[in-house]
């Protein structure tokens, strides 16, 4: 066995072998005896009152085992930000009064096969009274607009933020700039569709749900509430998950119905799987947003004030609305030192599909708006955008105006390094015509990210258990949900290092709400930081137990011993005293009989954001990054080609460098898609491009060279100095590209995606203006 520490090394992923051989099991691969196929009945109307639902014909169809409607449920609403925002709890697992979007769930069927289930859906008779619908958030806020829930002016979530004296700061500014940015919706487009299998145990009145999820414990909580059961009677099991990106972070009515149908069928397991069209149309999507910004700077580059309004199209239900609007408004406060801020955020209900969490929450939208806007401010005073950012970027060991505590902070180093590796100084502002009508440009964007967000529960704890068996095998139980990002591997590396054993010893079990400790789930780039600390603590505890026995046996002080490279060593002399295996056998032996079970948990020191003021230290630490794009713009066709992306990221310390680079590369390419062509489109509330052929995600031929560099700030709270980093690289991508386009051809595109048509129109517009 290799015995050096795996932390900081690109060890192979713990699950890679199963994944390359096809052995890795995902929920859809499960098959149980007597398993039934489930299907959801969804509303064809964007807004309608449900007058009557008649399921009798469907129930009589041969092969149909059960049909459920709201009448079979306790009619209890659920929401995703329930603890701090009870007013956002607005969705029934099955609706019975109204439907609010095309796709809203009203009934479900279980049958012997999918075809029969689908046939049964068509036999359910629903009488609707169609209501006027509203699809534009600005229209929805106007008096007299159709009322979707009970929220005044359909504003489901409001976040007014005001610090300092922004009006005065704008008056005292040398240059004030106003902008309007428009951000479209987008899809997560994880390759594995949403799938769940519910099984009811009649004698015990218990439920087991296998779900493709990022947050098993979150589903358990919502399921218990809406089924009026005890959490202890609901077991949620996560297997391999084929990508999440925020789209699998909640309980869905299909999870609920798989279990309810199983109960009605006397315990037969029921499998529900979304079609690709359902994934695109009826799960979650990115919030379309509008940013109206007005900000001011001094001639010397001092950022004086940022003011404005943010309007988000929330769709039919609230989902993670508060988290998204908070991220959409407050992320730049981690990035820029600023005393005067006034922003008013509104998340507005419409009859569009439900907007929710998606990698970066609202940070991708705000990243584009704020970072494009900052370039325009710098331009207004004739300052280099990199210099401008260096002047205003936040520093380590500071508190932001809204009371976020930035301990380690490598933002300025990220900017400097990005400038250096990209050759920024030689390239920026230099007109470069590569071929007739084809111009090169370079652009910058910067960002910050949280690692955890106190938005879901009163605490944000994660726990880990490590048991060391008599044969020396080490089992790690964690509630952290690996959805492909590699958290199982990172947890195993952390456990191996801390316990002083080889990485190959660790077997990981995650996540099963009945077996593994609580964990809020994979979101907000929190797992390495929070679950990683919990795992480290569990390993420390297991090690202490082993060393206590070793010390007793050797009549030494346990404080003087450690486990390194699979050996119990004397810290002072460095002498190896036992092998790890011998020490474990000793623990279990006649005289001691000690079973080694280490436990650890971690709860970051955070405070929730006060939505009346915008204050709160939402994360235990913060990550930072700078990104530079080099592009080529063809002025004849309007086509933008991204030549290279440079990414410099303060990740604290990389537990697994290859995995960290992999997250960064994946984020950038996802960002590239959102910048240049991804656009989930709607017509009267209906998704018009719900397939991979119509909603294009980046393909291998669009792969671009990426140079990714780490800034290691060794975070004082992070496990081995590591910080979370799964989302930040997506945040500045669109602005970096848009700013590079400006550098190339002098047009600033303010609405995504940046299509050739928009570039051509903008070029024509400046040409016309020059002629006037």
Q: Which of 205, 397, 691, 714 binds another protein (CB under 8 A)?
A: 691
Pick the piece of the chain touching another protein (CB under 8 A) from 300-308, 511-519, 599-607, 662-670. 662-670
- Give whichever of 9 and 427 is closer to another protein, judged by the CB atom: 9
Cα 445 to Cα 629: distance, rounded to the nearest angstrom? 9
Q: Does 514 sit near another protein (CB under 8 A)? A: no
Whether the CB-CB separation of 390 and 336 falls below 8 Å is answered with no
Cα 225 to Cα 231: distance, rounded to the nearest angstrom? 8
- Give whichever of 191 and 761 is closer to another protein, judged by the CB atom: 191
User: What is the signed CA dihedral for 719, 720, 726, 729, rounded to 10 degrees?
Assistant: 140
CB of 399 to another protein, least distance (A): 35
| Closest to 373 measured CA to CA, from 355, 357, 390, 389 | 389
Q: Does 667 sit near another protein (CB under 8 A)? A: yes
Q: Does 753 sit near another protein (CB under 8 A)? A: no
- Give whichever of 390 and 704 is closer to another protein, judged by the CB atom: 704
Q: Which of 78, 200, 210, 245 binds another protein (CB under 8 A)?
A: 245
Cα 309 to Cα 500: distance, rounded to the nearest angstrom? 52
Q: Which of 1, 2, 4, 12 binds another protein (CB under 8 A)?
A: 12
Cα 60 to Cα 41: distance, rounded to the nearest angstrom? 17
Q: Does 709 sit near another protein (CB under 8 A)? A: no
Residues from 180 through 239 that contact another protein (CB under 8 A): 188-193
Q: Does 25 sit near another protein (CB under 8 A)? A: yes
Whether the CB-CB separation of 417 and 626 falls below 8 Å is answered with yes
CB of 222 to another protein, least distance (A): 24
Q: Does 728 sit near another protein (CB under 8 A)? A: no
| Closest to 346 measured CA to CA, from 335, 358, 337, 355 | 355
Cα 645 to Cα 638: distance, rounded to the nearest angstrom? 20
Q: Which of 20, 180, 595, 688 binds another protein (CB under 8 A)?
A: 20
Cα 287 to Cα 559: distance, rounded to the nearest angstrom? 53
Pull the structure tokens for residue 300.
């010397």
Q: In this structure, what are the phi and psi dihedrals at residue 276, rounded to the nearest 5 degrees?
A: -60, -35
CB of 30 to another protein, least distance (A): 9
- The SS3 assignment for 303 reads strand
Residue whose pair of structure tokens reads 């829930």 in the numeric block: 149
Q: Does 658 sit near another protein (CB under 8 A)? A: yes
Cα 613 to Cα 341: distance, rounded to the nearest angstrom? 11
CB of 673 to another protein, least distance (A): 9
Q: What DSSP letter does each residue of 78-136 carry, written as one string? A: B-SSTTT-GGG--B-SS-SSEE-STT-EEEEEEESSHHHHHHHHHH-EEEEEE------
How many residues in the shown chain lie near another protein by CB under 8 A?
A: 54
**What is the total residue count of the chain?**
772
H helix intervals, 466-621? 487-499, 532-554, 580-588
| CB-count burial class (<10 Å; 0-12, 13-18, 19+) for 697 | middle
Q: Does 243 sit near another protein (CB under 8 A)? A: yes
Q: Does 16 sit near another protein (CB under 8 A)? A: yes
Residues from 628 through 657 that contact another protein (CB under 8 A): none
CB of 625 to another protein, least distance (A): 16
Q: Which of 3, 9, 24, 131 binds another protein (CB under 8 A)?
A: 24
Q: Which of 87, 344, 588, 692 binds another protein (CB under 8 A)?
A: 692
CB of 607 to another protein, least distance (A): 33
- Give whichever of 191 and 576 is closer to another protein, judged by the CB atom: 191
| Closest to 190 measured CA to CA, from 253, 245, 252 | 245
Q: Which of 9, 26, 131, 603 binds another protein (CB under 8 A)?
A: 26
What is the pattern of x (binds another protein, CB under 8 A) and - over residues 156-185?
------------------------------
Tell me: cis bond preceding 511? Omega within 30 of 0 counts.
Answer: yes
Q: In this structure, what are the phi and psi dihedrals at residue 740, rounded to the nearest 5 degrees?
A: -70, -35
Cα 206 to Cα 233: distance, rounded to the nearest angstrom? 5
| Closest to 365 measured CA to CA, from 336, 326, 328, 332 | 328
Q: Which of 414, 438, 492, 669 binds another protein (CB under 8 A)?
A: 669
Cα 463 to Cα 485: distance, rounded to the nearest angstrom? 19
Q: Does 276 sit near another protein (CB under 8 A)? A: yes
- Give whichever of 689 and 755 is closer to another protein, judged by the CB atom: 689
- Give whichever of 216 and 322 is closer to another protein, judged by the CB atom: 216
Pick the piece of the chain touching another protein (CB under 8 A) from 6-14, 140-148, 299-307, 624-632. 6-14
Pick the piece of the chain touching another protein (CB under 8 A) from 22-30, 41-49, 282-290, 326-334. 22-30
Q: Which of 5, 6, 7, 13 binds another protein (CB under 8 A)?
A: 13
Pairing state between β 195-201 and 206-211: antiparallel
Q: Does 394 sit near another protein (CB under 8 A)? A: no
Q: Which of 61, 643, 697, 709 binds another protein (CB under 8 A)?
A: 697
What is the pattern of x (binds another protein, CB under 8 A) and - over residues 87-126?
----------------------------------------
- Give whichever of 267 and 662 is closer to another protein, judged by the CB atom: 662
Cα 154 to Cα 351: distance, rounded to the nearest angstrom? 11
Q: Which of 154, 659, 733, 739 binds another protein (CB under 8 A)?
A: 659
| CB-count burial class (<10 Å; 0-12, 13-18, 19+) for 205 | exposed
Whether the CB-CB separation of 672 and 642 falls below 8 Å is answered with yes
Q: Which of 15, 221, 255, 371 binds another protein (CB under 8 A)?
A: 15
Residues from 468 through 487 that contact another protein (CB under 8 A): 483-486
Q: Which residues of this chain interact with another protein, rule CB under 8 A? A: 10, 12-13, 15-26, 28-29, 188-193, 240-243, 245, 275-276, 483-486, 658-659, 661-662, 665-670, 691-693, 697-701, 703, 706
């Amino acid at each position: 066995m290799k015995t050096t520490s795996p932390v900081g090394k690109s060890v192979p992923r713990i699950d890679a072998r199963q994944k390359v051989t096809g052995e890795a099991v995902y929920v859809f691969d499960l098959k149980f005896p007597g398993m039934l196929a489930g299907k959801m009945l969804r509303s064809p109307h964007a807004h309608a009152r449900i007058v009557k639902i008649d399921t009798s014909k469907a129930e009589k169809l041969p092969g149909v085992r059960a049909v459920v409607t709201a009448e079979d449920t306790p009619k209890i609403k659920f929401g995703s930000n329930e603890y701090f925002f009870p007013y956002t709890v607005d969705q029934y697992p099955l609706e019975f009064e109204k439907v609010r979007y095309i796709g809203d769930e009203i009934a479900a069927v279980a049958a012997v096969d999918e075809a029969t289930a689908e046939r049964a859906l068509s036999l359910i008779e629903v009488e609707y009274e169609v209501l006027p619908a509203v699809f534009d958030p600005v229209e929805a806020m106007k008096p007299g607009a159709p009322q979707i829930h009970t929220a005044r002016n359909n504003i489901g979530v409001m976040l007014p933020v005001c610090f300092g004296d922004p009006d005065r700061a704008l008056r005292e500014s040398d240059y004030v700039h106003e902008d309007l940015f428009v951000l479209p919706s987008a899809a997560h487009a994880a390759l594995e569709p949403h799938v769940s299998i519910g099984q009811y145990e009649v004698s015990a009145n218990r439920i087991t749900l296998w779900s493709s999820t990022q947050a098993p414990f979150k589903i358990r909580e919502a399921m218990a509430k809406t089924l009026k059961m005890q959490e202890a009677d609901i077991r949620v099991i996560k297997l391999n998950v084929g990508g999440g990106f925020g789209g699998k972070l909640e309980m869905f009515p299909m999870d609920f119905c798989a279990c309810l149908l199983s109960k009605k069928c006397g315990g037969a397991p029921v499998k529900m799987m979304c079609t690709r069209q359902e994934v695109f149309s009826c799960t979650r999507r990115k919030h379309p947003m509008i940013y109206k910004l007005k900000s001011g700077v001094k001639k010397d580059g001092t950022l004086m004030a940022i003011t404005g309004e943010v309007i988000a199209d929330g769709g039919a239900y609230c989902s993670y609305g508060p988290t998204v609007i908070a991220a959409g408004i407050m992320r730049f406060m981690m990035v820029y030192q600023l005393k005067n801020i006034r922003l008013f955020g509104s998340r507005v209900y419409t009859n569009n599909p439900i907007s929710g969490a998606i990698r970066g929450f609202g940070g991708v939208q705000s990243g584009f708006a704020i970072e494009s806007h900052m370039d325009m401010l710098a331009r207004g005073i004739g300052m280099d955008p990199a210099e401008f950012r260096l002047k205003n970027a936040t520093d380590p060991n500071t508190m932001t105006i809204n009371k976020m505590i930035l301990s380690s902070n490598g933002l300025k180093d990220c900017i400097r390094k990005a400038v250096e590796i990209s050759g920024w100084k030689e390239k920026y502002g230099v007109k470069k015509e590569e071929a007739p009508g084809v111009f090169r440009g370079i652009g910058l964007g910067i960002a910050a990210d949280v690692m955890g967000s106190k938005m879901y529960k009163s605490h944000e704890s994660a726990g880990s258990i490590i048991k060391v068996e008599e044969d020396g095998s080490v089992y790690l139980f964690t509630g952290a949900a690996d959805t492909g990002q590699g958290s199982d591997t990172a947890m195993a590396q952390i456990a191996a290092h801390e316990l002083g054993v080889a990485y190959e010893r660790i077997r990981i079990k995650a996540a099963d709400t009945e077996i593994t400790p609580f964990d809020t789930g994979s979101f907000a780039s929190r797992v390495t930081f929070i679950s990683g600390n919990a795992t480290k603590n569990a390993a420390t505890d297991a090690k202490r137990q082993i060393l206590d026995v070793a010390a007793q046996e050797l009549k030494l002080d346990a404080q003087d011993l450690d486990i390194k490279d699979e050996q119990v060593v004397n810290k002072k002399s460095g002498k190896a005293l036992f092998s790890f295996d011998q020490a474990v056998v000793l623990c279990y032996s006649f005289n001691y009989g000690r079973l080694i079970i280490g436990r650890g948990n971690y709860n970051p020191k955070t405070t929730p954001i006060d939505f009346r003021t915008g204050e709160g230290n939402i994360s235990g630490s913060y990550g930072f990054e700078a990104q530079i794009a080099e592009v080529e713009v063809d002025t004849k066709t309007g086509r933008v080609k991204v030549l290279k992306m440079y990414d410099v990221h303060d990740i604290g310390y990389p537990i697994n460098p290859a995995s960290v680079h992999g997250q960064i590369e994946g984020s950038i390419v996802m960002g590239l898609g959102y910048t240049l062509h991804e656009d989930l489109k709607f017509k009267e509330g209906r998704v018009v491009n719900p397939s991979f052929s119509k909603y294009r995600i980046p393909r291998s031929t669009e792969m671009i060279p990426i140079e990714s560099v780490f800034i290691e700030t060794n975070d004082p709270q992070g496990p081995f100095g590591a910080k979370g980093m799964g989302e930040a690289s997506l945040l500045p991508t669109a602005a970096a590209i848009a700013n590079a386009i400006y550098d190339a051809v002098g047009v600033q595109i303010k609405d995504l995606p940046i299509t050739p048509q928009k570039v051509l129109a903008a070029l024509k517009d400046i040409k016309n203006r020059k002629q006037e």
